[in-house]
Structures are given as structure tokens and as C-alpha cells.
Amino acid sequence: MFMATTLFISGCATQQQSLYEELGGAEKVNQIVENFVIQIETDPTILPYFEGSDIDRFVEKLSEQICALTGGGCVYSGDTMEHVHAGMNITEADFNRTVDLLIRAMDAADIPHRSQNKLLKVLAPTRKEMLYR
Ligand code: HEM
């Protein structure tokens, strides 16, 4: 009986925490995005895509998008994924490579793999909006 009550309470607590909170909130999400930029800047294949880009804007909009998609309460104010990645002709290989850079960025921010996978799952649907466009 006691066990059942305990499980019920902890179940509720888990449901209330957003993925944003689980990741560590604004501080950790900003850390992930900053680390992601460092990874991009040192990757000879992905960096050329960002030539001429406003990196400050990228950091701001990606942080906001992650916050919005993970229940952090932000409203994404950037361009649509279709629009922003149009004309880049992003290949599947380069998309996967970019995801690897994001994983390294999350590793460097000490995000547990369980939480990393949840974020990747949330971002996965954006894939079809940007490949070969
Ligand atoms: C999980 C996948 C991805 C997500 C969630 C994502 C998200 C974003 C966001 C939020 C922005 C900023 C939008 C804005 O400025 O309004 C952006 C910009 C950009 N993304 Fe992605 N992106 C992804 C994958 C990729 C890949 C695979 C590439 C290239 C290999 C790429 C290249 C770029 C570039 C170059 C910009 C800057 C565009 C500009 O300066 O106008 N992204 N992305």
C-alpha cells in the first residue's frame, strides 16, 4: 500500500518536469548551443554552410527553438526550418554529421545520454523540413 502511494507521487513529479528543466534550463541550453557553435567552427565539412551567417542570431534562435520545443515556455521567433535551410541542399550525411556535432556539444555540457536522446527525438522531425532543399 505504502509502495503504491510512493510510486504514484514520484510518477506525478516526473510528469511535471519539462524536458527543458530536465536538461538544466536556460543555462544548460545556452551552454549546449555555445558548444555546438564551437563544434561547427572546427568542422571543415559543416563550417562552410555557415559562411556569412550571423552566428549571434543563430545562437539566439536555436536556444529559443530548443526552449520552445522542450516545454521551456519560449515562443520561437525565428524563420521556419524550410525557409532558413532552403538553397543549402543539405545531404543526409551532412545532416547526420551535424547531429553528431550536437551530441558532442551535449557531452561537453555534461547532459546525461537519456536526456540527450529526448532532445534528439524532439528535433528529429525537423529533418524532413531541411534535407535536399
Ligand atoms: C537538428 C537539426 C537542425 C536544427 C534544429 C536547426 C535549427 C536552426 C535554427 C533555429 C536556425 C536559426 C533560424 C533563424 O535565424 O531564424 C538555423 C540556422 C542555420 N542552420 Fe540549421 N538547424 C539544423 C540543422 C542544420 C544543418 C544540418 C545545417 C547544415 C549542414 C544547418 C545550417 C544552418 C545555417 C547555415 C544557418 C544560418 C542561416 C543564416 O545565416 O541565414 N542547420 N538552424
Q: Please report the pLDDT score of residue 131 as a whole number.
A: 86
Q: Which atom of ligand 1 is nearest to the CA of 53?
A: 40
* Residue 75 belongs to some domain of the structure: yes
* Residue 12 belongs to some domain of the structure: no
* Residue 10 belongs to some domain of the structure: no
Question: 70, 59, 81, 62: which is closest to 119 by C-alpha?
Answer: 70
Higher pLDDT, 131 or 110: 110
- For residues 33 and 133, the answer to whether their CB atoms sit within 8 Å is no
Of 4-18, 44-58, 107-121, the range with the lowest mean pLDDT is 4-18
Residue 61: give its domain's CATH number.
1.10.490.10
Residue 10 scores a pLDDT above 70: no
* Residue 69 belongs to some domain of the structure: yes
Number of domains within the chain: 1
- For residues 23 and 32, the answer to whether their CB atoms sit within 8 Å is yes
Q: Whole domain around residue 114: which residue ranges? A: 19-130
* Residue 104 belongs to some domain of the structure: yes
Q: Please report the pLDDT score of residue 132 as a whole number.
A: 78
* Residue 4 belongs to some domain of the structure: no
Residue 100 scores a pLDDT above 90: yes
* Stretch 17-27: mean pLDDT: 98
Pocket lined around ligand 1, Cβ cut-off 6 Å = 46, 49-50, 53-54, 57-58, 61-62, 65, 78-79, 84-85, 88, 90, 94-95, 98, 123, 126, 130
* Residue 45 belongs to some domain of the structure: yes
Q: Model confidence at 12, in pLDDT bands (50, 70, 90)?
A: low
Residue 6 scores a pLDDT above 90: no
107: Cα separation from own chain's centroid: 13
Q: Which atom of ligand 1 is nearest to the CA of 79?
A: 16
* Residue 3 belongs to some domain of the structure: no
Q: How far is the CA of 50 from the centre of ligand 1 (A)?
A: 9
Which residues share a beta bridge with 131?
Answer: 90
Residue 19 scores a pLDDT above 60: yes
Residue of 85, 117, 118 to test ligand 1 pocket, by largest number of atoms within 8 Å of CB: 85
Instruction: List, for residues 24-82, the tens digit of each pLDDT value.
Output: 999 999 999 999 999 999 999 999 999 999 999 999 999 999 999 999 999 999 999 99
* Stretch 117-129: mean pLDDT: 94
